Structure 1
Amino acid sequence: MNKLISAACLALLGAAAIPALAAGQSTEPAAQPAPETTPGKTSGTSAKTSSAAPVAQVNVTGSRANDTDQRRLSTASKMVFGREELDRNGDTSVGEILKRLPGVTMGGPPGRGGGAVRMRGLGNGYTQVLINGERPPPGFSIESLPPEQVERIEVMRGPVAEHSTQAIAGTINIVLREGYRQKEIQLRAGDSISAGRHSPNLSLSLPGQSGKLSWLMNVNAMAGRSQSDSDSYVREEDLAGNVTREQNIHTGVESRTRGMFLSPRLSYKSDNGDTLTFQPFIGINRNDNGSDTFIDHLGGTRPAEYARLRTASESESQFVRAMGNWLHKMDGGAKLDIKLSGGASRNDSDSFRYTSDAAGATLRTFNDVDNSRNSNITHSGKYTAPIGKDHLLAVGWDLEGARLKQVHVAESDGGALFEDSGANLEASTRRLALFAQDEWDITERWSMYLGLRWEGIRTTSTGSDSEVSNTSRVWSPVVHTVWRIPGFEKDQVRASLTQSYRAAPLNDMIASPSFATYNARVSPDRSGNPDLKPELARGIDLAYEHYLGKSGILSASGFIRNVDNLIRRVITERPTSQGLRYLSSPQNIGSARTSGIELEAKFQLAELVANSPDIDFRSNYSRFWSSVEGIPGPNNRLDGQADQTANVGIDYRMKARPLTLGASYNWTPEVLVQTSALEASQAGSKRQVDLYGLWKFSATTQLRLSVNNLLAEDYVTARYYAAPNGFVTTSAHTDPTYGLRFEMKL
């Protein structure tokens, strides 16, 4: 078996000519007790451990299992990345951290941020993102969450009944800092520079304790300036093959952002062992943007509508959310976990656009004003009790109510663009879920998780002249199992059989039309569809894990998902007061199938080679396949899914100096997707190199220098259309980002 493992390691490192070494550090568990229950913890971790080690080696410490222990002891597949991984590269956003995790990719140009989080290459909406185990408030973006306020990130490849099963690709649970674990005041001050523009940030963590009450105040303030530019080429033909439009388009954008985030946390532990936790989360953010678009008209029967488009926009958002948790310990090891949270947010934006001719004379003006108000309240509970010595039974519920009020006015030259331009739009969502689960230790080497969840969602909305509603109900059975191989104490096999779904996003159902300045098949207007059904997926997962030394792991996993009621955007023509216009709206088009293989490895060189340098290796490699029924191949993939992705990283801790150097390489190849019989989209390759150096002056003071997106390659995207033919290609230019951060513990 040792030879087999060594050969597997070498094969894994050479996969696709890119080493597949996994991110992060780990420690082999020594039969510790299971992790204690915390907000955001998944139910895939058994409360009863099955150790393969002899009884004489059991070392009961009473402490929380570390990252690798939690992964190894979990019945459901779960990866945990703690503060060491989060701090490694000195990232300024959670999105930059996520892109290096196994099977996770980010949409959009490299180094820009703001893209959708994707697991297993699947597009927006297939990956569930949770904050402390709960759905984030409406309008919340993980890009606005400072890494300093995160305790750990949990990545779950399969759904569990305790959380919503809206996780066809998987779940990413972001657990915020826990006050009772931190001892020192922590101060971080830094600046990042990209294209000559500075983005300073400052964060402060203040812990405290008085008797049974402990607290932690996290404060983060940031300001940023950024610049981006892109070049596009557009060509359109009529049905006879005559060129109707051929243009070069250059766009430059200047942005300024200011924000402040506060996340205090209070925790009280009573004499009877009950724990009360309260954590509000407050954020304020303001953005000002200005852009210039210039058209170089090369020819065609349709003249250019303008030579220059100037846009000035500003937006401001505030949100507040409060999360309360009561954990009550009962006789016989039973627990009652009650959560109540609520929040509200407001987003106000104003965008003014005007077009002009080559001489600078104003042609048309456009004004978009959007004011939205979101509020929601959630209540959940879970009762957990051991049944005999082999079962841990849990039952629970989730209730959520959310309301959106939106005023969206789109005007052209002082007149409404659409009769239903979105004024006084209101929408509400009600969600009810019930679940039951049993974590069963069949033998000391074989554990199984059985779960069942029912979830119903009802959405209603009223617009200026219509009222729509949408109701969905989904049953989700879930089975996870892990088998620890006899005679090979470092090896285990996992399997899962799940049913999950993706509810139609609220904006896809009730969104008011958005107006394109230059309406064409390559740049249509956009609208919603209130009749959308949820996408349903049935899947199977298999995985093999081998733990190397005390801190390494090799794993290989595969999955298959069959998806019904697939949602895709379809372009149609629509008569309006402005004439016949192209409109993109979402529709259920049929079924799809996706599958993949994911390889992961990480280890410390010193554990494998005696007297070697203090070097950590980490990497991962994924290969994906997919096909959509009813769309001709060979590129009839799921929208946005790359066929491969890989990450490689290395950390070198010098023995003679208090210096650590590290580098990581992130790669996603070019992908072409046939989105319909007449349409295709293309996303270019992404290669991102990040470097960092960390100098420790003392145990409490250190300085970190980082370089992100060192290669600064252009990111090319394209869309193609037929009958009539047309295409647009866009090259977005990127820049490296240099960061310097000073960290101190007081």
Structure 2
Amino acid sequence: MSRLLLALTAPCICAVSAQALAQTPPATPPAPAAKAPAAPPAAAPAAESKDNKLERVEVSSGPTANSRRRNSTASKIVIEREDLEKYGDVVLGDVLRRLPGVTLGGRPGRGGDIRMRGMGGGATQILIDEERPPPGFAVEDLPPDQIERIEIYRAPTAATGTRAIAGTINIVLREPLQKSNHEVRMGLGWDRNEPQADASWTRNLKWGGPNGDEFVGAISTNGAIRRFYNNVDSGNRRTDTLTGEVIEQNTQIGTSESQNTSLNGNARLRWKYSDTLNLNITPSFFLSQNEGSSQYNSAGTRVRDVHSDNDAKNHNLRLNLSADYRPQAGESFSLRLGTGTSRNTRHSERRDQQTFGGTSTDRTQVDRSTVDEDQTSLNGRWSLKTAQEHQWVTGAEAERSQRTQVVDTLVNGAPLPGLVRFGNTLATRNQRFAAFTQDEWSPSRQWAFYAGLRYERIETTAAAAGALPETRNVSQVTSPLFHILWRPAAFPKDQVRLALTRSYRAPNLNDLAARPTINTTYPDGPNYQTHADRAGNPDLKPELATGADLSLEHWLPTGGIISGSAFLRDIKQLIRSQVQLETVSWDTAQRWVSRPRNMGSARRMGLEFEFKARMDELWEDAPAELQMMLLRFNAAVFKNQVKGLPGNSNRIDQQPRGSFNVGIDHRWKAWGLNFGSGFNANYVPATREQVTETLRRDITARRQFDAYLSWSSGAVRDGINWRLSMANLLPRDAEDSSEGTSLNSVTQREYLTESWSRNKTFRVVSLRADMRF
């Protein structure tokens, strides 16, 4: 099997070697076969050493990223601190973007929503310490400095949850350091000459008891100020398909600027009450404020001289309490109680001049919203490891949240007449209950089996202050899960994994809420498919996915890996936003409205390939200065089919055709300093998506090049580590366009409506310093 894998991947290896491209070096597992080129051979006599002194070697007893991945029955990838710090990323998404099958939805160089296997819209489950994050929390609010490691599960498990059609990303927060009391990090950066600054401090605590470890903890804070500049370059055109005559064309050219200020903090405190009982407390807070303004001139449209200001504030407070009880070896009980509150306020004011029927009027639209949410959760879990190599885990989870949203939209000081009936207050309640059990069984070194069962029920009710009736949505899913790991006896460095699972995606609150959002370009009268209003659908049902995952892994002597995987998801009750012409209550004219709807079935499939190896694993006689060079390459190809849509572009919403990464990392010594450097190239090909039978969307290819240079000054323990990072070295514009046809019911003429948007991207440079003392 290993020969087959190496034969299949040899062209890729040669190509990467020729280009000298790779990514982050893997952690080396503490295996006896590990090769350490820098150390003298074990068989060499002591006399061969210049001064007959043994080299000092530090051995870590904790599990490494490779051992966590290799020994897991479920297929997963583990990213540790070294990988998180390597490129100096300040946004978590940029760390994940370099992994196989992970893409981002934002502008290159600035992070964005995280999509595993290209699936957006909630298909990727995000966890923090194996728990769903509190309401209102955004992953972008959590800086990489506060993360210990990231675990990525390609297939769901009963313990981590099955709301993960694409996969699960579990973020493990920083553990207390044992050898340092303080850790300080500071960074300065520039994004198109706009300043960026952030700083973090971690205080590690340890005292009490005979061994000084009765109380252990860490307190971390992070603050950041970032300014951003964006261009405004968009437009739309309406053409008579029969004559080719352009009926209407609009363009908007201008700029927007924003500033984001954030302050985050958390603490992890553990009290070792006895040898069998630990008590933990984890408070956290996330505060952010975003201010911005934009202005642009319009040509050929009824809307001119647009200027807008916006301000958004968000605070999130959370407290988690937990107890871990281990009455005997191999058995444990854990109980977790969490409570939190959040508030999100937004205010925007838009001023423009509208021309309609030869008359120009000044128009001011003010939008205000306040969202308050309280959430409480209670989780319990029992784990038992038996002498027959069974690992049983059984647990239950309960969660309740209440949310109140107040929204006001005023045009020239008066509310929009069409929205009055919806009221300005929406109160929702969400209750979730889950129960699960799972067993991992390793009857031999060659085989490991996993079987799990999870039941989950979610009930959402919503009541508006207007004339709308209360709505109630209930989803219940039972998910059986199976994983198999096989290590062939004839090929001890190879592993085969197979998973058969059932997962689902529950509708989020914004999908269920029925209050509409009016398009600001065409706020009244007829609009177009490309400028549709948005509204919810309280009758949505959850997506159900039956999945199969198959992967092959070949491990190299010092921790390198060659792996290939394939996945398949058959989805029923697919949730997708559809644009349809509706007779609406908020306007006298018919309007195009985008609503999420269950629209039948779909199939998602793909292939993922990963290669990473040190140079000495590929070239036995490599020069000493190249032996520690690490090469990396990964690629993913996705294929989708939404039944009921024509053509070859009937893809899942905004899902790319694939992703590719190549890179190189190297370490060397010069001038008495230790240096590290690396380069990474990321490519996501262009995508065409058939949204409906008459509406199509195109997204241009994305190319991003990143590089870093790191060095250390001072002593190993008390020195300063410096890192110069450059993201999006060769900026390229990102373009998004769509076109759709519609039939005028009065004139029976068909019209083609086109829209486009060109977003500039910018080079991001940062210099970071960190030290421990």
Shared fold, TM over 0.5:
yes
**Residues 20, 387 of structure 1: alpha-carbon distance in 2 compared, 3 angstrom cutoff:** farther
Partner AA of 2:594 in structure 1: S
Q: Is the 8 A contact 1:354 1:362 kept in 2?
A: no
Shift of 1:238: 5.3
Partner AA of 2:740 in structure 1: Y
Separation in 2, partners of 1:327, 1:20:
45
For residues 163-206 of structure 1, give each alpha carbon's deviation from its aligned partner in whole angstroms, at most 9, with x where no partner exists.
22000000001111112556341111111101111011111111
For residues 198-243 of structure 1, give each alpha carbon's deviation from its aligned partner in whole angstroms, at most 9, with x where no partner exists.
0111111110111200111101111111100131231113576553
Separation in 2, partners of 1:551, 1:296:
59
Shift of 1:356: 2.3
Structure 2 counterparts to residues 68-147 of structure 1, below 5 A: 68-113=66-111, 115-147=112-144
Separation in 1, partners of 2:137, 2:162:
20
Partner AA of 2:297 in structure 1: F
Q: Is the 8 A contact 1:20 1:600 kept in 2?
A: no
Unpaired segments of 5 or more residues in structure 1?
33-60, 298-303
For residues 618-648 of structure 1, give each alpha carbon's deviation from its aligned partner in whole angstroms, at most 9, with x where no partner exists.
2210011010000001111111111110111
Q: 1:628 aligns with which of 610, 617, 642?
A: 642
For residues 647-691 of structure 1, give each alpha carbon's deviation from its aligned partner in whole angstroms, at most 9, with x where no partner exists.
112111113342111111111010001011111111111100011
Which stretch of structure 1 is more off in the superposition, 139-148 or 575-584?
A: 575-584
Q: 1:691 aligns with which of 707, 730, 733?
A: 707
Find the residue that maps to 1:86 and give its secondary structure: helix
**Residues 661, 18 of structure 1: alpha-carbon distance in 2 compared, 3 angstrom cutoff:** closer
Query: Sequence identity of aligned pairs in percent?
Result: 35
Q: Is the 8 A contact 2:514 2:538 kept in 1?
A: no
Q: Which residue of 1 aligns with 2:598?
A: 588
Partner AA of 2:559 in structure 1: S
**Residues 95, 182 of structure 1: alpha-carbon distance in 2 compared, 3 angstrom cutoff:** farther
Q: Which residue of 2 aligns with 1:54?
A: none
Which stretch of structure 1 is more off in the superposition, 13-22 or 352-361?
A: 13-22
Q: Is the 8 A contact 1:23 1:619 kept in 2?
A: no
Separation in 1, partners of 2:407, 2:695:
30
Shift of 1:141: 1.1
Partner AA of 1:338 in structure 2: L
In the alignment, does 2:681 pair up with 1:679?
A: no
Q: 2:228 aligns with which of 226, 229, 240?
A: 226
Separation in 2, partners of 1:339, 1:130:
15
Q: Which residue of 1 aligns with 2:147?
A: 150
Shift of 1:739: 0.3
**Residues 735, 468 of structure 1: alpha-carbon distance in 2 compared, 3 angstrom cutoff:** same
Shift of 1:388: 4.1
For residues 316-359 of structure 1, give each alpha carbon's deviation from its aligned partner in whole angstroms, at most 9, with x where no partner exists.
11101112221110225211121111111101111111112699
Separation in 2, partners of 1:586, 1:23:
39
Find the residue that maps to 2:584 and give its secondary structure: strand
Structure 2 counterparts to residues 260-659 of structure 1, below 5 A: 260-297=263-300, 304-356=301-353, 363-417=362-416, 418-463=419-464, 464-466=466-468, 467-510=470-513, 512-519=515-522, 520=527, 521-571=529-579, 572-580=581-589, 581-609=591-619, 610-612=621-623, 613=626, 614-656=628-670, 657-659=673-675
Separation in 2, partners of 1:683, 1:67:
35
Find the residue that maps to 2:496 and give its secondary structure: strand
Shift of 1:101: 1.9
Q: Which residue of 2 aligns with 1:719?
A: 738
- TM-score w.r.t. the length of structure 1 is 0.92
**Residues 413, 313 of structure 1: alpha-carbon distance in 2 compared, 3 angstrom cutoff:** same
Separation in 2, partners of 1:605, 1:251:
49
Structure 2 counterparts to residues 26-105 of structure 1, below 5 A: 26-28=27-29, 30=31, 63-105=61-103
Separation in 1, partners of 2:24, 2:684:
17
Q: Is the 8 A contact 2:23 2:680 kept in 1?
A: no
Separation in 1, partners of 2:223, 2:423:
34
**Residues 146, 540 of structure 1: alpha-carbon distance in 2 compared, 3 angstrom cutoff:** same
**Residues 306, 436 of structure 1: alpha-carbon distance in 2 compared, 3 angstrom cutoff:** same
Q: Is the 8 A contact 2:24 2:665 kept in 1?
A: no
Q: Which residue of 2 aligns with 1:55?
A: none
Find the residue that maps to 1:143 and give its secondary structure: helix
Shift of 1:375: 1.4
**Residues 104, 661 of structure 1: alpha-carbon distance in 2 compared, 3 angstrom cutoff:** same
Find the residue that maps to 2:770 and give its secondary structure: strand
Find the residue that maps to 1:717 and give its secondary structure: strand
Q: 1:667 aligns with which of 643, 658, 683?
A: 683
In the alignment, does 2:725 pair up with 1:706?
A: yes
Partner AA of 2:669 in structure 1: K
Shift of 1:270: 2.7
Separation in 1, partners of 2:32, 2:373:
46
Larger Rg: 2
Find the residue that maps to 2:83 and give its secondary structure: helix
- TM-score w.r.t. the length of structure 2 is 0.89
Partner AA of 2:636 in structure 1: S
Partner AA of 1:176 in structure 2: L
Partner AA of 1:743 in structure 2: D
Partner AA of 1:250 in structure 2: I
Unpaired segments of 5 or more residues in structure 2?
34-58, 209-213, 743-750
Find the residue that maps to 1:522 and give its secondary structure: helix
Separation in 2, partners of 1:563, 1:606:
45
Separation in 2, partners of 1:737, 1:332:
51
Find the residue that maps to 2:87 and give its secondary structure: coil
Q: Which residue of 2 aligns with 1:48?
A: none
**Residues 422, 683 of structure 1: alpha-carbon distance in 2 compared, 3 angstrom cutoff:** farther
**Residues 177, 362 of structure 1: alpha-carbon distance in 2 compared, 3 angstrom cutoff:** farther
Q: Is the 8 A contact 2:402 2:428 kept in 1?
A: yes
Separation in 1, partners of 2:754, 2:411:
27
Separation in 1, partners of 2:422, 2:289:
25
Find the residue that maps to 1:327 and give its secondary structure: strand
Find the residue that maps to 2:282 and give its secondary structure: strand
Find the residue that maps to 2:164 and give its secondary structure: coil
Q: Is the 8 A contact 2:23 2:630 kept in 1?
A: no
For residues 344-402 of structure 1, give each alpha carbon's deviation from its aligned partner in whole angstroms, at most 9, with x where no partner exists.
11011111111126999862111100000011111111111124413111111011111
Partner AA of 2:720 in structure 1: T
Separation in 2, partners of 1:593, 1:451:
24
Find the residue that maps to 1:261 and give its secondary structure: strand
Shift of 1:71: 0.2
Shift of 1:4: 3.7
In the alignment, does 2:232 pair up with 1:213?
A: no
Find the residue that maps to 2:84 and give its secondary structure: helix
Separation in 2, partners of 1:595, 1:381:
35
Separation in 2, partners of 1:541, 1:447:
16
Q: 1:257 aligns with which of 255, 260, 284?
A: 260
Find the residue that maps to 1:263 and give its secondary structure: strand
Q: Is the 8 A contact 2:23 2:664 kept in 1?
A: no
Shift of 1:512: 2.3
Q: Which residue of 1 aligns with 2:47?
A: none
Separation in 1, partners of 2:685, 2:406:
41
Q: Is the 8 A contact 2:23 2:665 kept in 1?
A: no
Q: Is the 8 A contact 2:2 2:494 kept in 1?
A: no
Shift of 1:611: 3.9
Partner AA of 1:693 in structure 2: L
Q: Is the 8 A contact 1:549 1:608 kept in 2?
A: no
Shift of 1:743: 1.2
